[in-house]
Amino acid sequence: MTITPQGTAIITVYEIYPFTVPGFVDDTDVLWIWDCLFQEIDIASNELVFQWRASEHHNLNETFRNIHDEGRTPNQPWDWYHINSIQKDELGNYLVSARYTHTITYIDGNTGNIIWILGGKRNDFEDLSTGKSKAVNIAYQHFARFHNLTEFPELLQDENVLHPTKEVDGVTKMLVSVFDNGADNGGTGDRPSRGVLIEVTYPTPESSSTVTAHTASLIQEYIHPAQFVSSSQGSMQVLPSNSTSDPRILLGYGYVGVWTEFSADGEVLCDNRFSAMSSWGNGDVQSYRVLKAPWKGEPNWPPAVAFGEGKQQSSVFVSWNGATEVKAWKLQQASESACADDDWEDVLTIQKKGFETELDVGDCDLRFLRVVGLDANGEVLGVSGTLDIGWEVGANGVFDGLELRGHSELQLAIISVAALALFVIGYESFRHVNSWIRTKWLGYEQVDEDSDVSSLDLV
């Protein structure tokens, strides 16, 4: 489902549908097909805004998927089209990707008529690509999207000079991004799966231009270094950038548990594998699409803190799982654990460093510590629980060289408790040893060698 800026939802529909097509197969004139529709629905009113059905605009013989024994009964419909993505543009038209026809179809949002088809058996575009890799030979592709040339100010610098806007003199020039699987479920293909960025030029719909040419050029392809084939699913996302630099490209490999981020010119920037290589092609780990978006995490739990030995010997370590906005940590101390916020003294502030940050407690001289998370503006985001270092001080009032002030009573209490514990341990140890010496040994009383054996009581 896609939510549009107009407050509508676009959904795909797979319907088991009887389709009359005499002569397509020898044994029946009516085929049961998985027909593909998409609907645009007004979210507020739940009213249907637009509907389009594939079988009304594409022929069944456009498919690349063999019918075999499918389609004869409604229990085994034939999946001939397989719609997998829809995008509505600012003109109100729709860009649709279909896996089994190898097509990206541009559809009039008023009439439902096809404006053009890229790829497949009814391809409208002349491929102007140079080199071995081509633009129109996409196969089993997923997730087609339109983009303006201006989104790539560096990669398409010359093109943007010649064609600074989407439409010039009745000719439209756009980019289409798509994940090109290059193979079906069999996993075989003559090239690895790839992301492709295609420049398409065509007459602007409803313009008075006399230009009729449709041309396509492969601007850039994105191929994983392992050059594997993903036989189903997948995505290609153009990640937005600022106005002076090119975006990045994110590929999700669907049937293969991998996602990879590229620079606009094809360099691998980040390669992530959430399945073992031995499982690639088996479908053990799959992800239909991989999409990246800004995310702000605000956990409802406090930062976690703990004592530990770090670079500074005596340190506090702090982390806050899920908190994305923390930029700095502030260490505070107080003489009481339940005091007001104003009674906590600032010790130091340090920039956040990775997931877990170490704070030196060498300048602390009060018993209780806590850590405060700060955002980029110095505003408080969260406060940790309290750490009590009194018991760490021990009898000497020292914690790895850390001396506390105002804790003579605490030290006395610790010494008293320790002394009492030692006394109890010593007394109990003496009592148990003495009892062991005097007890029976292996069921007999211990006797002197000169004792009268007959006087022993057998157990």
Q: pLDDT value at position 291?
A: 96
Cα angle value 449/453/457 (rounded, 5°): 120
CA distance 319 to 355: 6
How distant is the alpha carbon of residue 442 from its chain centre? 69
Amino acid residing at 301: W
Amino acid residing at 310: G
Q: pLDDT value at position 307?
A: 86
Q: pLDDT value at position 370?
A: 97
Evaluate whether 427 touches 419 at the Cβ level (below 8 Å). no
User: pTM score, two decimals?
Assistant: 0.77
How distant is the alpha carbon of residue 121 from its chain centre? 36
CA distance 165 to 199: 14
Q: Which domains does the chain have, with CATH numbers?
A: 2-279 (2.120.10), 304-403 (2.60.40.10), 412-459 (no CATH)
Q: pLDDT value at position 168?
A: 85
The CB-side HSE value for 198 (13 A sphere, CA atoms) comes to 32
CA distance 235 to 177: 9
Closest CA to 33 of 55, 11, 2, 10: 55
User: Taking phi first (over 0 means left), then psi (-120 to 50 degrees means alpha), and beta for anything else, what does residue 49 get?
Assistant: alpha
Query: In this structure, what token pair is assigned to residue 148?
Result: 């303006």
b/e map of 113-147 (b: 16 or more CB within 10 Å)? Answer: ebbbbbbbebbbbebebeeeebbbbbbbbbbbbbe
Q: Which residues contact 1 (CB under 8 A, 6 or more apart)?
A: 9, 10, 11
Hunting for tokens 């420049």 — which residue is that? 199
Dihedral through CA 204, CA 206, CA 208, CA 214, nearest 10?
Answer: 30
CA distance 251 to 142: 11
Cα angle value 119/125/129 (rounded, 5°): 90
Q: pLDDT value at position 414?
A: 63
Closest CA to 81 of 61, 101, 56, 95: 101
Residues of the chain with pLDDT under 50: 395-398, 441-451, 453-459
CA distance 99 to 81: 6
Evaluate whether 96 touches 117 at the Cβ level (below 8 Å). no
CA distance 373 to 286: 37
